[in-house]
Amino acid sequence: MNLVYNNPSRTTYVYIVQCMDKRGWIKVGVAVDVDNRLSTLQIGCPYELKLIAKIKFPGRSLAYAMESKIHRRFKGRNVRGEWFTHISMSALNKMEETLIFERDDQAEIAIAIEANSRM
């Protein structure tokens, strides 16, 4: 049993990764260790993958809820699974404004998106 994975209160991130090919597809996912997840994804991708944002949560359930919210928000741009056609930084910034202070029954979450300055 993996106790780290099963710890629902462990800090968890929603990450946004962009494939740096001509299509510029975006992946939105959840991970405890974003750097490790990016490395794992990179192994299976012939193009450079770049972390463009990550959102920190105090637990897995909140991270998965936000991931679902982002997936629903951009469902019209879904290519397959967690991959989407290009999502502009302005669209992400508009979404960030609505996510800054989300209230859960048990916690107030401050969300910080670390956006890439080259986008």
Judge: domain 12-110, CATH 3.30.1490: no
The Cα–Cα gap between 101 and 85 comes to 27
With a CB cutoff of 8 Å and minimum separation 6, the contacts of 25 are 18, 19, 79, 83, 84, 85, 86
- Per domain, the residue ranges of the chain are 12-110
Q: What does pLDDT average to over the chain?
A: 77
> Per residue in 39-96, pLDDT tens?
999 999 999 999 988 888 888 988 998 899 889 888 999 999 999 997 777 776 666 6
Element (H, E) at 56: strand 49-57
